[in-house]
Structure 1
Amino acid sequence: MDEPGVLWLPSNNYFPGREKHNVRWLIIHGTAGFNSAQEVGEFFQRTDVSTHYTIGRDGVIVQSVREHDAAWGNGYVSEGHDPWWSKGLNPNYVTISIEHVKPSRDNSDALTTIQTEVSFRLVKNICERHEIPRRRADATGGITGHYSMDPVGRHFCPGPYPWEELFSYLAR
């Protein structure tokens, strides 16, 4: 595993090696259903979707795809996307994705306190490993939500997320 202490539930849904692209962005997701990170990890083993990590409401982290591979979590780039995304490049090749378990189908659940703490640490560690800018995303990289590349189909993803607190934490 890439992050110490995570539960490894591997998915076969990934692109090996990222086609030699470098990671530049970290994408925050909400699960829009499910009750645990383990349940999401098992789902990723049965269906044609995956993210690198899932953080449960209890703080458990499941890793489903190694960071040197591209998970299948970001789908495609839709109309109205942030200007740095290209429809000519699969965004999965240049991103690492973290799901956050949110039982509500509309992602309206706030993160739990432990989920927030674990998320912030994981984001920081991934940014350090891949030299991802520890700030809001722009054309050179950074951190954003799934809505950034698919404001049509994923406008509600990740739902409520403590962005300002994250960036304050990362600035320390």
Structure 2
Amino acid sequence: MDEPQALWLPSPNYFPARAGHAPRWIIIHGTAGFSSAEEVGYYFQQADVSTHYTIGRDGVIVQSVREHDGAWGNGGVTTGHDPWWSRKLNPNNVTISIEHVKPHRDNSDELTETQKEASFRLIQHICDRHHIPKHKANASGGITGHRSMDPLHRSFCPGPYPWEELFEFLNDTK
């Protein structure tokens, strides 16, 4: 496992060794259902999808894919995507994906305080491990939501997320 204290529930759904690419972005997702990180982890063991991490409403972190591999969490790049994404490159090979358990199907749930704290710390650790810029995503890398690459089908992903608080936290820990 890459993140200390994460629960390891491995998924068979990943791109080995990222086809030689390094992660440059962190993608924030909302689960649009489910009640716990463990439930999502078990789902990733059976379904044709995965992310690297899932953070439960109770702060539990489940890791399903190693960071040196690409998870199957982002799908494709669709019309209206942010300009740094390319349909020629599988976005899963250049990203680390983090799901946040949100029980409502429309991802309308706010993060719990415990979930937010776990998310911020995990993002900080991933940025430090992979030299991912600790800022809003742009062509050089950074952190953004799933809707950044798929505004057609994932406009609701991740739903509410405390972006300003995240970047304040990351700036305070540089």
TM-score w.r.t. length of structure 2: 0.99
Aligned to 1:105: 105
Structure 1 residues without counterparts, runs of 5 or longer = none
- SS of corresponding position for 2:41: helix
- How far the C-alpha of 1:137 sits from its partner, in A, is 0.2
Which residue pairs with 1:37 in the alignment?
37
Q: How many residues align?
A: 172
**Paired residue type of 1:44:** F
Extract structure 1 runs of 4+ deviating beyond 4 A.
none
The one-letter amino acid of 1:41's match is: G
The 1-side partners of 2:165 and 2:15 are apart by 32
Hey, what does 2:79 align to over in structure 1?
A: 79
Q: Which letter maps to 1:57? A: R
Q: Distance in 2 between matches of 1:96 and 1:130?
A: 10
- Cα distance in 2 for residues equivalent to 1:22 and 1:56: 27
SS, match of residue 45 in structure 2? helix
Counterpart residue type for residue 158 of structure 1:
P
The 3-state SS of whatever aligns with 2:99 is: strand
Encode CA deviations 1:55-114: one digit per residue, 9 max, x unaligned. Answer: 000000000000000000000000000000000001000000000000000000000000
Q: Does 1:90 align with 2:90?
A: yes
Q: CA deviation at 1:52?
A: 0.1
The yes-or-no answer on 1:26 pairing with 2:26 is: yes
Letter of the structure 2 residue corresponding to residue 104 of structure 1:
H
How far apart are 1:22 and its partner, in Å? 1.0
What's the counterpart of residue 169 of structure 1? 169
Aligned to 2:154: 154
Q: Match for 1:62: what amino acid?
A: V
SS in 2 for 1:46: coil
Residue identity (%): 73
Instruction: Deviation per CA, 1:94-150: give whole Å up to 9, x if none.
Output: 000000000000000000000000000000000000000000000010000000000
TM-score relative to the length of structure 1: 1.00
CA distance in 1, matches of 2:142, 2:121: 16
- SS of 2:26 mapped into structure 1: strand
What amino acid is the match of 1:16? P
Query: Which residue in 1 is equivalent to 2:144?
Result: 144
Segments of 5+ residues of structure 2 without an aligned counterpart are none
CA RMSD of aligned residues (A): 0.3
